[in-house]
Amino acid sequence: MSHIVEAWTKIQNPDLALLRQALEIVADAHGGGRVEAHILDFGGRPQQISTGLALFTQRVHRGLGIELTNEGMLSFKGDPWKVQDEFSLLQQEIIQTYVSLATMQALQAMGYTAEANQEVSQVVIRGVAYA
């Protein structure tokens, strides 16, 4: 009747509208967080990002851009100088938030009532169907 599956996930050809939503959520959770279409290089010059999606926070003030490889795989671009930890954390949060949003939408498309809760470093999504 039931089972448990554990899996690695990879993101290829993401839905850019959903990705923007994920970035906005992550931006809201950080001081000075905002979404822009560019990052800044070490000289403060804007560098366009092909997806038009880059996240800035107070700490990551040169931005973290989201690019897609030729194969459509998600990749991150930016200058992590002196903010390596925050840079890595933001990448994790973006991926986690994107997967969570997609899961919520998928469960709703299946006719489930879905709700999400942040629990320490995990997001737990519960979908229930009574039919």
Give whichever of 17 and 45 is closer to another protein, judged by the CB atom.
17
The count of residues interacting with another protein (CB under 8 A) is: 42
Check residue 23 for interaction with another protein (CB under 8 A).
Answer: no
Spatial separation of the C-alpha atoms in residues 29 and 55, rounded to whole Å: 12
Structure token digits, residue 25: 């959520």
Q: Which residues inside 54-113 make contact with another protein, applying CB under 8 A?
A: 72, 92-93, 95-96, 98-100, 102-103, 105-107, 109-110, 112
* Rg from Cα positions in the chain: 16
28-to-22, 45, 49, 74, 102 alpha-carbon distances in Å: 10, 24, 21, 22, 19
Which residues of this chain interact with another protein, rule CB under 8 A?
Answer: 1-15, 18, 72, 92-93, 95-96, 98-100, 102-103, 105-107, 109-110, 112, 121-130
